[in-house]
Amino acid sequence: MELQIRNLSKTYANGVVALDRVSLSIPPGMFGLLGPNGAGKSTLMRILATLQECDSGSVFLDDIDVLDEKDEVRRLLGYLPQDFGVYPKVTAYELLDHFAQLKGLAQRHRRREVVDALLQQTNLFEVRNQKMGTFSGGMRQRFGIAQALLGDPQLIIVDEPTAGLDPQERVRFHNLLSDIGEDKTVILSTHIVSDVADLCANMAIINKGHVLLCGEPVRLIEGIEGKIWARVVGKADLPAFQKRHTVISTRLLSGRTLIHVYADRYPGDDFEPIHPTLEDVYFATIAGRHNDMAGNC
């Protein structure tokens, strides 16, 4: 199913503008919504998940009016919130079985089939009789996906799912999401660029309530080819470089500082041209250097 978001705005009672006329087209497959903390991602995810009201704008899931036909959307939706809490004293099986009942799976036998299948799919079947309180962060997140998949949803929203996972669990989680993303619309909200680079066929970058850029990651990377330059600098020299150049990122490398700058042509100062990555796209965009494509979203 395809999601069409048009001119969505939300201002909180304290005056914070969380979303300012956000427009996005989200096709089937994995869609990455990338932005720093406070960008407005969770606000957008909660509105799409029918848990929060917006001030103005429209959202359609195919021809369903998401802002109006909430029950219809909830039947098609799976949601893993940012702060997914679990009951520590119950087992994974009991809790998923409980969620399945809430989803309306009344028939015991059928429910058992569904719950077992989801525990298998998320690689939790072996530990299904363990109490949730003993689960690692990665296991909890996989359980979060299992509950989000109850009822065979067509639209799946996952908010910051890999924060705090170790590298092995992240890979597992990525594999799980990419299997699901093959035939569903999956929105992955994150501030981790590599999550999007690894998984998403389409993406958008938002900051301060605005969509700054959207498109296919490979095309967006092509769009800044020839404009990213790198060199190592001494720590003490960094402020001078920041003054003379548009430094989009700094990273420690064996105790020295590697900087990337954005420049349409050779910026001097012995910089080397590099092939950009999605991180360069992200940092250049957040730095306000690269946001001329938001009109196509």
Ligand X SMILES: Nc1ncnc2c1ncn2[C@@H]1O[C@H](COP(=O)(O)OP(=O)(O)OP(=O)(O)O)[C@@H](O)[C@H]1O
The binding site for ligand X (CB under 6 A) comprises 12, 14, 16, 18, 35, 37-43, 160, 191
Question: Shortest Cβ distance from residue 260 to ligand X (Å)?
Answer: 24
Residue at shortest CB range from ligand X = 42
Pairing of strands 202-207, 29-34: parallel
- Smaller CB separation from ligand X, 205 or 293: 205
- Least distance (Å) from ligand X to the CB of residue 41? 3
Q: How far is the CB of 81 from ligand X (least distance, A)?
A: 11
Q: Which of 85, 88, 110 is nearest to 97 (CA)?
A: 110
Q: Which is nearer to ligand X, 38 or 226 (CB)?
A: 38
> In the complex with ligand X, which residue's Cβ is closer, 18 or 228?
18
Cβ pair 177, 186 in contact under 8 A: yes
User: How many distinct helices (H) and strands (E) make up the chain?
Assistant: 10, 14
* Pair 212, 205: CB distance under 8 Å: yes
Minimum CB separation of residue 12 from ligand X in Å reads 3
d(CA 108, CA 94) in angstroms, rounded, equals 13
Please spell the DSSP secondary structure of 215-227, one letter per residue. E-HHHHHHHTTT-
Q: Which is nearer to ligand X, 191 or 289 (CB)?
A: 191
Helix, strand, or coil here: 172?
A: helix
**Residue 52 or 257 with smaller CB distance to ligand X:** 52
Q: How far is the CB of 42 from ligand X (least distance, A)?
A: 3
β-bridge mates for residue 286, sequence order: none
Could you give the C-alpha distances from 131 to 90, 102, 117, 147, 173, in angstroms and in order?
A: 5, 20, 19, 16, 20
Minimum CB distance to ligand X, residue 189 (Å): 7
* Exposure letters 17-29 (e unless 16+ CB within 10 A, then b): ebbbebbbebebb
Q: Half-sphere exposure (CA, 13 Å, Cβ side) for 41? A: 28
Minimal distance in Å, beta carbon 197 to ligand X? 18
Q: Which is nearer to ligand X, 16 or 51 (CB)?
A: 16
Question: Which C-beta is closer to ligand X: that of 54 or that of 150?
Answer: 54
- Closest CB to ligand X among 191 and 210? 191
90 contact partners, CB below 8 Å, separation of at least 6: 98, 131, 132
User: Smallest gap, in angstroms, from Cβ of residue 2 to ligand X?
Assistant: 23
